Each structure stands twice: as C-alpha cells, then as structure tokens.
Amino acid sequence: MAGTTVAEAGMQGIRARRSGTGAARNGIMAGLLRLLAGIALVLAATSAYSAPKNLLVLGDSLSAEYGLERGRGWASLLQQRLQQDKLDTTVVNASISGDTTIGGKNRLPALMEQHKPQVLVIELGSNDALRGLPLKSSQDNLQAMINLAQQYKARVLLVGMQIPPNYGPDYTRRFAEMYQTLARQNKVALVPFFMEGIAADLSLFQADRIHPNEQAQPRLLENVWPQLKPLLGLK
C-alpha cells in the first residue's frame, strides 16, 4: 500500500508539473497573440493615417480663382501649405464661377463618387442671395450636400457668407444665420464669415468690387485654416 501511495504521489506530481508547464505555455502564447494583435492595429492605423487623402472644395467664383492667374487662389495656396506641412493630401478644387447651392447639390454625387474625399469644404450660397432665391431652398440644398458627405464618412467644413444690408435687414440676418443653423444642427465645422478682414477693404477687391484680388487670397486661407486644421488631424 505504501509503494502504491508513493507511486501515485509521484504521478500526481508529474501531472501537476506538466499542467503548470502547459498553463505557462498557454499564457505565453496568449500574450504573444495580444501583442501581435496590438501591432496589427497600430500598423493599420498608421497606414490609414498616412494613406493619400483628398480634400474637395465645392464653391463658386470666390474659390474658382475668378479673375486671378491660375494657381493664385486660396485653394491653391492651401495645397501649397499642405505640401509644406508634409501632408499627403490633394486639394480637388471643383469650384465653378456663378455656381449656386442647387448647382453644387447636383454636381456633388458624381464628385463624391469619383474622389471619395475625407474632407468636403462647401463654399456656396452667395449667388443664391444675389439672385434673390428663397433661403429655404438654399438651406435645403446645403443640408442635402452635408447629408451626402456624411454618408461617405467625409468631414464637412461649411464656409459662411454675409451679404450687404441693401438686401433688407431681415433677409440679410436670416442669410447669415442659415450657415450657423446648419453647422449647429449637423455638428459640422463652420467658418463664420469667409470674407472677414476683406469685405470692408476695397484695396483687396478686383475692379468689379465683388471678387477678392490676389492680395486677398492669403487672408481667405487664414479665415478657413483654423477650422480646417482639426478636420485634417492637425492641432
């Protein structure tokens, strides 16, 4: 009986050691798997961050370099700044002089499908006001563009405008508030007034006194940049 007890005790010890070794081996393997999974996530995030990105500007003559030498407008200056900051982001300027919110709304689906931008800058509405179009229609068109961009998971920057008071105080006020309302309701970034620091200085306008000249383009970019930076992952 004593021999049997010693033998059984020996076997139990061996089994215990094997069990302990197996548990340790399993623990090491589990740790390695967690480490590899973490490395994979970091690599995927790095790859996604460093992948080339598109930034789509959908605007009117204020962004389409109307009356300027090509490459001198604020959107071109933005591309230069991104290159200087070593950001692999391409600015696709799809702005057209004279465009309205309905024009932008109609053009956007094809542009989103073609370029699949990570960021959409909407600079439209001024020509709606110049033509006296109903603000409800303009707001609905802008809302539709925001909706489409968000369906594509694109971040949106809405560029606000203001109009002269000769359109009437009520229309002027509601036009400016339209951008604020859309930005608040959709939780998108907003440039409060694209022409801040320019509108009251005639030396920064072309001869038509409507379109900013070349000297005004850096200021337009500076008006956009603080709200655009976070959308690009910059502090």
Q: Residue 106 has which token pair?
A: 């109609």
Question: Is 50 designated active site?
Answer: no
Comparing C-alpha atoms, which of 204, 199, 194 is closest to residue 225?
Answer: 194
Question: Is 211 designated active site?
Answer: yes
Comparing C-alpha atoms, which of 132, 204, 205, 141 is closest to residue 163?
Answer: 132
Active-site annotation holder among 60, 61, 95, 138: 61
Residue ranges of E strands in the chain = 53-59, 89-93, 119-123, 155-159, 189-191
64 and 100 Cβ atoms separated by less than 8 Å: no
CA 220/CA 189 separation, integer angstroms: 16
Active-site annotation holder among 47, 170, 203, 208: 208
Q: Residue 91 has which token pair?
A: 């600015």
Active-site annotation holder among 97, 115, 140, 211: 211
Question: Is 88 designated active site?
Answer: no
CA 177/CA 171 separation, integer angstroms: 10
| Upper half-sphere CA count for residue 173 (Cβ side, 13 Å) | 3
Contacts of residue 73, Cβ cutoff 8 Å, sequence gap at least 6: 63, 64, 65, 93, 217
At 94, the amino acid letter reads A
Catalytic amino acids? 61, 208, 211
